[in-house]
């Protein structure tokens, strides 16, 4: 076991058992102190942010391959992500050492502690990555089956290619926004089944999609593919994703080229990026793949992660958020490694900061579905809330919050949350 993943490891900073950010996690983000405009890289530890740009300036990473590179005094993680897995491992090990309860270097230096450790409630979190390109996959067999059943019938639920390739499409990186950003109800064309022509207006069927994304660290050159067995070396870390959707606009526009306005109005991500090293104790087998994938997609061993996921909804008149879905990342049929191997098999180059999302993560039971479309079964089974409220799709003023974590022995490795509210159309 990597010593940074030891369940017995403890930080000198008190961290509760249900915190998402124990010493076994150490997720990266970009922050500035409130009232200042100096964004730089930090690491979450309990209710604090460790200013790693300050530690770098003081020489604490001179023993690593980052010596003299100055990657953390930056408004994004991209410069650090581009350094590759060896540097990622070295820095994680060094930060873990500095935060250990039996290591005096930071613990006993009062001045350094005050400068480098900032309470979470005093910081403003920023977009962690400068995203160049965004690809959204469709990797949940359960979700694809549910949607296919609704629109094509049970016998034709899955398209003929689904069990052979990780289906995906190119999304809009410019409208990827940070958690806490509210979005206006999108406007676009839709056509009722009994109408002679479409109309343009606000979407009536706004939905969330429970997803997770990963960021490319070191990319690949044009014309060269990434083998599935080495794909993990190109993945820096993961984040929560709410890929908002306008179902009525999507239904009208997606043939023949796929989603466009129905998806590009906004995609929300969480501010903390959890590394694959932090997630490694929670690796698990994904679903059995039958038929066996083609050789360039075939990989033995555990390909997924046991990440528990929750979605809650809070309307304007609701006093509390209500959990409406509980799912798990391990339900995905296609793994991240298979996604990036397929993405590059034609020689497509990926670049540092590119984001790839999983597609809606639905489980096998109705309470584990990852969208309102499925939870309300296309509006035929409205979701009931206390005090008599119902939802078929998202109403103006509704706030959607997603969270996720891996449960260890007495600790959690979590992602925090991604939240956003739908405002009326402009």
Question: Which domains occur in the chain, in start order?
Answer: 3-126 (2.30.30.230), 134-423 (3.90.850.10)
Confidence band, pLDDT 50/70/90 cuts, at residue 387: confident
pLDDT of residue 298: 96
Q: What is the pLDDT of residues 225-265, one digit of tens each?
A: 999 999 999 999 999 999 999 999 999 999 999 999 999 99
- Mean of the per-residue pLDDT values for the chain? 97
Helix (H, G, I), strand (E, B) or coil at 266: coil
CB atoms within 10 A of CB 16: 12
pLDDT of residue 285: 95
What tokens does 281 get? 């104790």
170 is catalytic: no
What tokens does 19 get? 């915190």
Q: What is the pLDDT of residues 208-222, one digit of tens each?
A: 999 999 999 999 999
DSSP 289-355: -SSPPPGGG---S--EE--EEEEEEE-TT-SS-EEEEEEEGGG-SS-HHHHHHHHHTT-----TT-E
d(CA 198, CA 145): 28
Mean pLDDT in residue range 133-162: 96
pLDDT of residue 89: 97
pLDDT of residue 105: 97
User: What are the backbone angles phi and psi of residue 232, rounded to the nearest 5°?
Assistant: -60, -30
Please tell me which residue in 143, 234, 331, 342 is annotated as part of the active site: 143
Residue owning tokens 């304007």: 316
Mean pLDDT in residue range 78-97: 98
The CA distances from residue 291 to 131, 284, 298, 303, in Å, are 34, 20, 11, 17
Confidence band, pLDDT 50/70/90 cuts, at residue 1: confident
Mean pLDDT in residue range 45-57: 98
CB 396, CB 424: distance < 8 Å:
yes
């Amino acid at each position: 076991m990597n010593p940074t993943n030891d369940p017995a490891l403890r930080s000198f900073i008190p961290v509760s058992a249900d915190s998402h950010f124990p010493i076994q996690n150490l997720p990266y983000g970009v922050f500035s102190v409130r009232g200042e405009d100096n964004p730089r890289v930090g690491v979450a530890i309990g209710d604090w942010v460790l200013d790693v740009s300050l530690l770098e300036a003081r020489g604490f990473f001179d023993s690593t391959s980052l010596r003299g590179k100055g990657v953390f005094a930056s408004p994004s993680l991209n410069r650090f992500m581009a350094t590759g897995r060896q540097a990622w491992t070295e820095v994680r090990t060094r930060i873990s050492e500095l935060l250990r309860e039996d290591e005096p270097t930071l613990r006993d230096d009062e001045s350094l502690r005050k400068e480098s450790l900032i309470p979470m409630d005093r910081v403003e979190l920023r977009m962690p990555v400068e995203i160049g390109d965004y690809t959204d996959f469709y990797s949940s067999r359960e979700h694809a089956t549910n949607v296919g059943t609704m629109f094509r019938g049970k016998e034709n639920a899955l398209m003929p290619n689904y069990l052979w390739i990780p289906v995906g499409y190119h999304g809009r990186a410019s409208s990827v926004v940070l958690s806490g950003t509210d979005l206006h109800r999108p406007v676009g064309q839709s056509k009722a089944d009994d109408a002679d022509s479409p109309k343009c207006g606000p979407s009536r069927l706004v939905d969330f999609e429970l997803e997770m994304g990963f960021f490319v660290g070191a990319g690949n050159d044009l014309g060269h593919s990434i083998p599935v067995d080495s794909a993990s070396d190109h993945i820096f870390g993961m984040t929560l994703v709410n890929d908002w959707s306008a179902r009525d606009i999507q239904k009208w526009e997606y043939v023949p080229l796929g989603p466009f306005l129905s998806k590009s109005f906004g995609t929300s991500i969480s501010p903390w990026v959890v590394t694959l090293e932090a997630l490694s104790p929670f690796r698990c087998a994904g679903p059995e793949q039958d038929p066996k994938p083609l050789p360039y997609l075939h990989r033995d061993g555990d390909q997924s992660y046991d990440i528990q996921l929750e979605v809650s909804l809070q309307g304007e008149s609701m006093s509390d958020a209500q959990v409406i879905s509980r799912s798990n990342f391990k339900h995905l049929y296609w793994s991240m490694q298979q996604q990036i191997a397929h993405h590059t098999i034609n020689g497509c180059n990926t670049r540092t900061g590119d984001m790839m999302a999983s597609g809606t993560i639905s489980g096998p039971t109705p309470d584990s579905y990852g969208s309102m479309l499925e939870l309300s079964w296309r509006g035929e089974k409205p979701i009931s809330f206390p005090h008599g409220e119902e939802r078929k799709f998202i109403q103006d003023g509704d706030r959607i919050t997603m969270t996720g974590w891996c449960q260890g022995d007495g600790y959690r490795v979590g992602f925090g949350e991604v939240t956003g509210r739908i405002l009326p159309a402009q």
